[in-house]
Amino acid sequence: MTEFGEAKLQVRGVDKYFDRFHVLAAIDLHLEANEFVSIVGASGCGKSTLLNIIAGLTPPSTGEVLVDGHIVRGPGSDRGMIFQNYSLFPWLSVADNIAFGLKLKGVSRSRQKEKIAYYLEVVGLSQFANAYPKQLSGGMKQRVAIARALANEPEVLLMDEPFGALDAQTREQMQLFLLNLWEQTHTTILTITHDVEEAIFLSQRIYIMSAHPGRIKAEIRVDLDRDRDLETKLTPKFIEIQRQVLHQLRQ
Ligand SMILES: Nc1ncnc2c1ncn2[C@@H]1O[C@H](COP(=O)(O)OP(=O)(O)OP(=O)(O)O)[C@@H](O)[C@H]1O
């Protein structure tokens, strides 16, 4: 239980060793339902390892991860994962990529069609249902990956540097897109990034990690209105939060 009641996602006392190499130490964090939280930290501090543990792809050495109070014991449809490199199936159309998890779950064909149409609309790609990944730009591929994850209706969406492979302008468009999507769908989202500006722009809270071994060294609440646009990045409040985060990272 947290001060807000039962958290949507909880990481409790997680340590991770690869052989004798201590990658993560005493990680505690939580996400409330509908929260957008980011983890920032330098390259190599263990962010991806932590996200993989939450996704159930890597077991923790000690500690546990809980979703809605249930211990995570492996990958599950309650957690959707978005990787930096899109990870779409190149031989499947956009619609079939989105339907992939639904087919595995035995969702009826008519329900699959409804969901494909709905999530293509949500990510603004309705006219690309029959296109193949190689015909899409990087930003579009990532929107398909997000639609595919959302179609499974996960309790938590986990994103590993989701816009890391995109150019600066597309990256800003995708930030706006993701913020808008979060407002529409009320999904609980956890991202990891080393882009401080992106973390502040998107999140309600930020965990800052230090390295060797990776620890949560600070938590910063992003006290900005939910209604944000690119101009928000130029406001004194935004810049002050950026200063606080950078200060923690450099200490
Ligand atoms: N399977 C593994 N076996 C051994 N060491 C690993 C393994 N996976 C990660 N590591 C090591 O753990 C440390 C943390 O790696 P991780 O990828 O989690 O960091 P990161 O913060 O996500 O880095 P980046 O931002 O560069 O992706 C690194 O030193 C890495 O070499």
Task: Please indicate whether residue 80, judged by its CB atom, sits closer than 6 Å to ligand 1.
Answer: no
ipTM given for this complex: 0.95
Verify whether ligand 1 is closer than 6 Å to residue 4 (CB atom): no
Separation of CA 138 and ligand 1 centre (Å): 25
Q: Positive or negative CA dihedral for 79, 80, 85, 89? A: positive
Specify the pLDDT at position 5: 58
Q: Measured from the CB, is residue 45 less than 6 Å from ligand 1?
A: yes
Residue 150: closest CA among 93, 82, 88: 82
Ligand 1 atom closest to Cα of 51? 18
The tens place of each residue's pLDDT in the chain, 251 residues long, gives: 445 457 999 999 999 999 999 999 999 999 999 999 999 998 899 999 999 999 999 999 999 999 999 999 999 889 999 988 768 999 999 999 999 989 988 999 999 999 999 989 888 899 999 999 999 998 899 899 999 998 888 999 999 998 888 888 888 988 998 898 888 888 999 999 989 999 999 999 999 999 999 999 999 999 998 889 999 999 999 999 999 999 999 88
Q: Cα(47) to centroid of ligand 1, in Å?
A: 8
Which residues are CB-contacts of 207 (< 8 A; sequence separation ≥ 6)? 29, 37, 38, 39, 40, 216, 218, 219
Q: Which domains does the chain show, CATH number per domain?
A: 1-78+157-251 (3.40.50.300), 88-153 (no CATH)
Please indicate whether residue 43, judged by its CB atom, sits closer than 6 Å to ligand 1. yes
Both tokens of residue 22?
């201590």
Q: Model pTM?
A: 0.92
Please, how many CA atoms are within 13 Å of residue 89, restricted to the half-sphere of its CB?
12
Q: Which DSSP string do the residues of 21-37 spell out, in sequence order?
A: EEEEEEEEEEE-TT-EE
The two tokens of residue 28 are: 């505690």
Q: What is the model's pLDDT at position 4?
A: 47
18 lines ligand 1 (CB under 6 A): yes
Residue nearest to atom 1 of ligand 1 (CA): 18
Q: How far is the CA of 14 from the centre of ligand 1 (A)?
A: 16
Q: What's the 46 CA to ligand 1 centre distance in angstroms?
A: 5
What separation in Å is there between the alpha carbon of 43 and the centre of ligand 1?
Answer: 8
